[in-house]
Amino acid sequence: MLLSFTLKKSKRTHLSQKQSIDFEDVIAEPEGTHSFDGIWKASFTTFTVTKYWFYRLLSTIFGIPMALIWGIYFAILSFLHIWAVVPCIKSFLIEIQCISRVYSIYVHTFCDPLFEAIGKIFSNIRINMQKEI
């Protein structure tokens, strides 16, 4: 069996759009406070080139091992979700239906009449407030 996949540009950048960090996002001089143009341009170039090459270096060193680790993690997570979590929740919901019926009968039999009686007792209380000058 031949496994093939394509990395579309939209797929690669869709998740990382929120993580785009540009020079202006990190180093922002407020209005009225500016360094020399040469310093600003050199800082911009240093930041951009350093970020670019260190990202490539770290991706080269750790990209495949991290992909392996995250692949294993999400495989385990998917397996547990499909074969353990969802069946447990479904089982719980089936079992709780019996308990909910018993609880409903209990509430309608004992609690409803009790609270209706208490409500009727307190419904006849009247309070008059007068302000004396």
Concatenated DSSP letters of 80-112: HIIIIIHHHHHHHHHHHHHHHHHHHHHIIIIIH
What is the pLDDT at residue 2? 47
Tokens of 2: 């031949």
What is the pLDDT at residue 10? 44
- On average, the pLDDT of the chain sits at 85
Entry pTM? 0.53
pLDDT tens digit string along 47-102?
899 999 999 999 999 999 999 999 999 999 999 999 999 999 999 999 999 999 99
Distances in whole angstroms, Cα of residue 77 to Cα of each of 68, 69, 85: 14, 12, 10
Categorize the per-residue pLDDT at 123 as very low, low, confident or very high, splitting at 50, 70 and 90: very high
Exposure string of 55-67, with b = 16+ CB inside 10 Å and e = fewer, is: eeeeeeeeeeeee
The answer to whether 51 and 21 have CB atoms below 8 angstroms apart is yes
Instruction: Over range 30-42, report the average pLDDT.
Output: 79
- Identity at 131, one-letter amino acid code: K
State in Å, rounded, how far the first CA of the chain is from the last one.
Answer: 97
What is the pLDDT at residue 74? 97
Q: Which residue has the tokens 């969802």?
A: 86
What is the pLDDT at residue 14? 60
Task: Tell how far CA 1 is from the center of its chain.
Answer: 37
